[in-house]
Amino acid sequence: MKGSNHPYRAHLHELTRRLEACLEGSGFNGALIPAGRPPLVFRDDLHYPYRPNPWFCQWCPEAHPGSLIVVRPGNRPLLLFRQEDDYWHMPPIEPSGPWVSEWDIRVVRSTSEARSDIPAGRYLLLGEPDADWEGLAEANPTGITQCLEYLRASKTAYELSCLAEASLRAARGHLAAEHTWRGGGSEFDVHLAYCAAVGQRDDELPYRNIIGFDRHGAVLHYQHLERERPPHSRSFLIDAGASAAGYAADITRTWVADSGDFSALVRALDATQQRLADNVRPGQDFRTLHCTAHLEIGQLLAEAGLVRCGAEEAVDSGVTRTFFPHGLGHLLGLQVHDVAGTAAAGGGDIPRPEGHPFLRLTRTLEAGCVVTIEPGIYFIDMLLDEARADGRRRLIDWDRVGAMYPYGGVRIEDNVVALPEGPRNLTREAFLALEA
Ligand code: GLY
Ligand code: MN
Ligand code: MN
């Protein structure tokens, strides 16, 4: 890896700088960061899917079970690369990517070998404590963990390149998914086509695919995959991501078979979504943007004839929350709902606006923050029943709701970077690149 300004090298420098800043005055010399291991199923000899420790992925692009990172500011990072003698499984191959030149790497065969290779020092452990590292480090001390989590919101150039790659992979999957739905496939067929196009197994994706035809689009995190195709599918909502070196994409698209009123609503929401995404800039308070989204959705509901009042009354009466009951977006990075979305700079939390308990991001955006922008409009039985039972009843046009009800709902979700020069929409960029 030549040149001091290589993005991965600069990324490691930045992580080291952050660690130093957060350790200041703590007495710790460094951190142990385990990759983690897949847990065993109760009374079984099979494991749950392996989800590597996100802190490990932030430092090292290859996270194999049982490996350990040792970071001591002032020294090169040390990777204790676990390669067990095992004829049941294929041991991981020693890493050879360009990133290895930044590391000291030692192959270890056992926990005791790894433990004896850890230089003396006072360490904290970042990640899930397990028996392998017991007694060596203090696990996740609150103040230091909060300090590091807070800083994770702003991405380095290397992290942005991983997130852009994740969006590109997911966009390939979305195109294959739409094709399969239009071609008469079932939800399950769409899922298989998606995984094949992304090149990732179900458990390599950052979250379970949400693939809902028709009324299933009204279930925010619909979890089943129907094997049978309904005779006439009208609409299709897919919320599906992809991973790249531990970083996630989180993308939603909604497709409609006919060109009627629901299709017009999808187009209108798409335009609103892009307007909202244009506000992803340093200095933007995300709570304010979430409230703006409610006003915009109130306007859309009025224009679509779904409500019998103006946008402001739709917001003030709580009607917009009947149709749009989740947050506008969240931080995105190593985790889909990335950590510290409501964290205040000096510790503590920034409260959510009253009446919006599901908003996952209340911070003011900084340069390099990556967020999702995902407004939606849904016809959800439980919430419609609640509105029908109180003062919101007279504000809703129930015939119009009835006409769109079979389509389930619409959500449009992109991944957007806040940059001083303006927003960078990783998702639209990815779809455009695939069109070219
Ligand atoms: N895929 C979950 C979400 O959009 O937050
Ligand atoms: Mn999301
Ligand atoms: Mn999503």
Check if the beta carbon of residue 241 is closer than 8 Å to that of residue 210.
Answer: no
Q: What is the pLDDT averaged over residues 195-209?
A: 97
Q: What is the pLDDT averaged over residues 188-197?
A: 98
Q: How far is the CA of 185 from the centre of ligand 3 (A)?
A: 22
- Give the tens place of pLDDT for each residue, 366-396: 999 999 999 999 999 999 999 999 999 999 9
Q: What is the mean pLDDT of the chain?
A: 97
Q: How far is the CA of 250 from the centre of ligand 1 (A)?
A: 6
* DSSP state at residue 49: P
The percent helix, strand, coil of the chain (3-state, each to 5) is 40, 15, 45
**Nearest one of 230, 248, 232 to 240, comparing CA atoms:** 248
With the most atoms of ligand 1 within 8 angstroms of its CB, the residue from 167, 411, 413 to mutate is 413
Q: Which residue has a Cα nearest atom 3 of ligand 1?
A: 250
Q: Which residue has a Cα nearest atom 4 of ligand 1?
A: 250
**Nearest one of 336, 331, 56, 325 to 208, comparing CA atoms:** 336
159 C-beta closer than 6 A to ligand 1: no
Q: How far is the CA of 170 from the centre of ligand 2 (A)?
A: 13
User: Nearest ligand to the C-alpha of residue 371?
Assistant: 2
239 C-beta closer than 6 A to ligand 1: yes
What is the per-residue pLDDT for 4? 47
User: Per-residue confidence at 42, pLDDT binned at 50, 70, 90?
Assistant: very high
Q: What is the pLDDT averaged over residues 47-73?
A: 97
**Angle in degrees, 0-180, between the axes of helices 187-198 and 157-182, rounded to the nearest 10:** 140
What is the per-residue pLDDT for 1? 56
CA-CA-CA-CA torsion sign (300, 301, 303, 309): negative
187 C-beta closer than 6 A to ligand 1: no
103 C-beta closer than 6 A to ligand 1: no
What residues are neighbours of ligand 3 (ion), with CB under 5 Å? Answer: 239, 250, 252, 413
CA distances from 252 to 74, 178, 415 (A): 43, 12, 10
With the most atoms of ligand 1 within 8 angstroms of its CB, the residue from 211, 220, 222, 250 to mutate is 250
What is the per-residue pLDDT for 2? 52
Q: What is the pLDDT averaged over residues 126-155?
A: 97
Q: How far is the CA of 206 from the centre of ligand 2 (A)?
A: 11
414 C-beta closer than 6 A to ligand 1: no
User: Where do the domains of the chain lie, and which CATH numbers do they carry?
Assistant: 6-151 (3.40.350.10), 157-435 (3.90.230.10)
Q: What is the pTM of this model?
A: 0.97
User: Per-residue confidence at 436, pLDDT binned at 50, 70, 90?
Assistant: confident
What is the per-residue pLDDT for 5? 57
Q: Residue 402: is its pLDDT beyond 60?
A: yes
What is the per-residue pLDDT for 26? 97
Q: What is the pLDDT averaged over residues 266-277?
A: 98
Check if the beta carbon of residue 337 is closer than 8 Å to that of residue 330.
Answer: yes
What is the per-residue pLDDT for 254? 98
* DSSP state at residue 343: B
Q: How far is the CA of 356 from the centre of ligand 3 (A)?
A: 18
With the most atoms of ligand 1 within 8 angstroms of its CB, the residue from 194, 205, 336, 411 to mutate is 336
Burial of 393 (0-12, 13-18, 19+ CB in 10 A): exposed
